[in-house]
Chains A and B, each alone.
Chain A
């Protein structure tokens, strides 16, 4: 089944404790992206990647890191999480040059 998976789906952590949210797709998509969704603010892009080893900042990259060492994986890293990073996070992917993004199920992160 073609899908985008994220892990974990739910995470409660404390300020400053490094964490990684994984994203994996099995559709051989070139383009992958991370978004956060907050009430009243909609989806905001954090980082995106056009292909392996090619990443770029979105609108709200501060406090986040990404890497794209393999085509299928695009982990989101929070080196020192803070409470303002409490949010719902979505990973998405698509083929290059197309506009149909497939979204993962979301990761609800709470930073205490």
Chain B
């Protein structure tokens, strides 16, 4: 079992709709959870982090964390073509030094 799992996609969502990206992790002691966006040929860029159970909102982005289910998700409201990218879920391990990435979900917003 991979430590951080994501559906590779591609996930195709119509413009203006809500895109929902999901991630599960295996280390129950994980403390910090991140979502990175990576455009093709570019480096990853941090868009959200979340530490506590529940929702965290930042503009059109909402991160959701459920530690009991070991599940973290990212919602993108009012999806735009510029949101088309690969989204990487990352988890800081219980040792607090290592950050483990999922393999990413490719999101495509169709006009």
Q: Residues of A with Cβ closer than 8 Å to B?
A: 33, 35, 40-45, 48, 50, 56, 58-59, 90, 99-101, 103-106
User: Nearest Cβ distance between residue B43 and chain A, in whole angstroms?
Assistant: 4
CA–CA, A104 to B46, complex, Å?
13
CA–CA, A31 to B54, complex, Å?
28
CA–CA, A44 to B104, complex, Å?
12
Instruction: Determine the chain A residues whose CB is within 8 A of the CB of B88 once the complex forms.
Output: 42-43
User: Nearest Cβ distance between residue B34 and chain A, in whole angstroms?
Assistant: 7
Interchain CB contact (< 8 A) of A106 among B43, B99, B104: B43
Task: Give 1 or 0 for each of B81-104: 1 = CB within 8 Å of chain A CB.
Answer: 000000010101000011111111
**How many residues of chain B are within 8 Å of chain A by beta carbon?**
21
Chain A residue at minimal CB-CB distance from B34:
A99
Q: Say what secondary structure dominates the interface of chain B.
A: strand
Whether the pair A90, B44 counts as a contact (CB closer than 8 A) is yes
CA–CA, A50 to B95, complex, Å?
13
Q: Residues of B with Cβ closer than 8 Å to A?
A: 4, 8, 32, 34, 42-46, 49, 88, 90, 92, 97-104
Whether the pair A43, B101 counts as a contact (CB closer than 8 A) is yes
Whether the pair A104, B43 counts as a contact (CB closer than 8 A) is yes
Whether the pair A99, B49 counts as a contact (CB closer than 8 A) is yes
Whether A105 touches B43, Cβ cut-off 8 Å, given contacts A43-B88, A48-B97, is yes
